[in-house]
Amino acid sequence: MHPALRRELFGALLWAALGALGGYWLGGAWIGLAAALALRLGLYIRYLAGLRAWLDQPKRRDLPLAGGVWGEVFDGLLNLQKRNRKRKKKLAAILAEFQASTEALPDGAVVLGPSGEIVWFNAAAQALLGLRLPQDLGLRVANLVRVPVFTEYFAREDYGGEVEGPSPLNPDSTLSYRIIPYGAGQRLLIVRDVSELKRLETARRDFVANASHELRTPLTVLRGYLDALEPETRQGAALAAWHAPLSEMRNQAARMEALIHDLLKLARLESDVIQTRQDLLDVPRMLERVLEEAKAMSKGQHRFEFEAQPDLKLFGRESEVQSIFGNLVANAVQYTPAGGIVRIRWWGDDQGAHFSVADTGIGIAEKDIPRITERFYRVDAARSRAGGGTGLGLSIVKHALERHEGRLQIESELGVGSTFTCHFPPHRVHRGEARSERYSTAH
């Protein structure tokens, strides 16, 4: 038993004994005992009433002054109350700090409840999305932010990555929307204004495209003169010494032309709005042509294996799909030493259609694989240049594939070989004879 309780019990017993003794002295021990216990009970009830009143209004009332166990209980309660007040103050300070920092954030932040209702948002969210305080609290965000890209993203179960779409207030500015799930069904919506970034990106793209375009004409003129001079160096003895330099100049001019061609192609892939209607492509026939070109490039140094499902067709843009196949097969030939094997496959299953090129070439180190689709990234720049590579081939493949809702998978081992596989989704695939010559991405 707690010592304070023991003391209280002892006090009560002493009190009862004194009552009984007093009563005995006055002529009735039982009456004395009952009177003493009634007094004690009255005291307890008074303390309880004081406690009850204090619980109702702890700020306005004081706890009764008491000794013994009651005093200890009241002191404990007062301490508890003091500690709670301190904690509350600390929490309020943290909350105020958090609110001040989120208000200062340039990004919009909106806290959403389990059914997508708005629980809280900061000042940037008001400015970017046009949310109003307090009217919009409790309303569903999907009803307020009526931007199709966002609505679609919001309805999705997995919120990997972010989406870009127009602002609900101004269709000329672009916002990036990102949803982060947390807690029990809570979601945090982060909105950023990326208009400036978009403008810069467009300016960079336009600059590269314009510069490449402008370079094309002077280069064609130079190439023309070099081509015209070439026979002269072979015939006229006076120009014979120029034969080797001229042929090198022609090689370099051809390299520049290839670079400009690839840069323009990449710029077009990045800037063209994807067409909703596309052609049904006879992939097996296209691949036969790619195979012929690869054989010409290999000059009999490689063995080719070819396997294509004859009736498997793809909805897409011929020039872009041709770039995908052509670049991957050309790379396989270029990075496979003489005597190696290049295996081209085109097949379909319930996941869609797949195109793969496997080679027994030099392979790619694991650390380089994530980077080789970057512009101008080459594992061995000298080797790539020597083979006429521009360093842009895989970037073109990646962009062209994205425009066909495809995905590139790269598996490779140094010194063993590489396999590049393109996966196309089922709704882009058509089996059998042409049903219609057109495809709409709305499928």
**Which positions touch ligand ADP (CB under 6 A)?**
327, 331-332, 335, 359, 361-364, 372, 377-380, 384, 389-395, 418
Closer to ligand ADP at the Cβ: 19 or 406? 406
Measured from the CB of residue 368, what is the shortest distance to ligand ADP in angstroms? Answer: 7
**Closest CB to ligand ADP among residues 317, 378:** 378
Of 50 and 363, which CB lies nearer to ligand ADP in the complex structure? 363
Q: Answer yes or no: are the C-beta atoms of 313 and 280 closer than 8 Å.
A: yes
- The two three-digit tokens of residue 255, written as one number: 């390299």
Closer residue to ligand ADP (CB): 315 or 335: 335
C-alpha–C-alpha distance, residues 56 and 50, integer Å: 10
Number of neighbouring beta carbons within 10 Å of residue 191: 24
User: What is the enclosing helix (H) or strand (E) of 382?
Assistant: helix 381-386
- Which amino acid is located at 205 in the chain? R
Q: Which is nearer to ligand ADP, 122 or 360 (CB)?
A: 360
Distance between CA atoms of residues 410 and 421, nearest Å = 6
Name which of 131 and 357 has its Cβ closer to ligand ADP: 357
Per the structure block, which two tokens stand in for 362?
């030099």
Strands of the sheet with 417-424, listed across from one edge: 303-308, 341-349, 352-359, 417-424, 407-413
CB 416 within 8 A of CB 360: yes
The nearest distance, CB 410 to ligand ADP, in angstroms, is: 8
Which position has the token pair 């294996």? 305
Nearest distance in Å: CB 309, ligand ADP: 23
Determine the 3-state secondary structure of 248 from DSSP: helix
Cβ-Cβ contacts under 8 Å for 284 (sequence gap 6 or more): 308, 309, 310, 312, 346
Tell me if residue 421 falls in helix, strand or coil.
strand
Residue 122 vs 418, nearer CB to ligand ADP: 418
In angstroms, rounded to a whole number, what is the distance separating the alpha carbons of residues 349 and 347? Answer: 7
Q: Collapsing DSSP states into helix, strand and coil, what is residue 60? A: coil
Query: Shortest approach of ligand ADP to residue 264 CB, angstroms?
Result: 15
Q: In angstroms, rounded to a whole number, what is the distance separating the alpha carbons of residues 245 and 229?
A: 11
Residue 249: both structure tokens together: 């100049």
- In 10 A of CB 374, how many CB atoms? 13
Which residue number, 98 or 376, has a Cβ lying nearer to ligand ADP? 376
Decide whether 141 or 392 has the Cβ nearer to ligand ADP: 392
Structure token pair of residue 414: 């140094």
